Amino acid sequence: MRNRGATLGVARAAAGGSRGWFDWKRTPLWYITRMKKAISGARGSAAKGNVVPKTVDEYLAGVPEPARSTLNRVRATIRSAVPPEATEGISWRMPMFKYKGLLVGFAAFRNHCSFFPMSSSVIETFKKELKGFSTSKGTIRFPVDKPLPAAVVKKLVRARIAENAHKKQR
CB within 8 Å of 126: residues ≥ 6 apart: 152, 155, 156, 159
Per-residue pLDDT of 86-112, as tens digits, reads: 999 999 899 999 999 999 999 999 899
Examine the domain organization and report whether 88 and 165 are in the same domain: yes
Region 72-98: mean pLDDT is 95
70 within domain boundaries: yes
Boundaries of domain holding 111: 56-169
Q: Are residues 72 and 138 in the same domain?
A: yes
Residue-level pLDDT at 113: 95
Same domain, 61 and 37: no
Note whether residue 47 is domain-resident: no
Read off the pTM: 0.69
Instruction: Please report which confidence band the pLDDT of residue 168 belongs to, taking 50, 70 and 90 as the band edges.
Output: confident
Same domain, 22 and 98: no
Cα separation of 114 and 134, whole Å? 9
Q: 52 falls in which pLDDT band (50, 70, 90)?
A: confident
Residues 6+ apart with CB under 8 A from 119: 138, 159, 160, 163
Checking if the pLDDT of 33 tops 90, the result is no
- Determine the 3-state secondary structure of 121 from DSSP: helix
Query: Is 81 in the same domain as 140?
Result: yes
Our count of domains for the chain comes to 2
Higher pLDDT, 141 or 29: 141
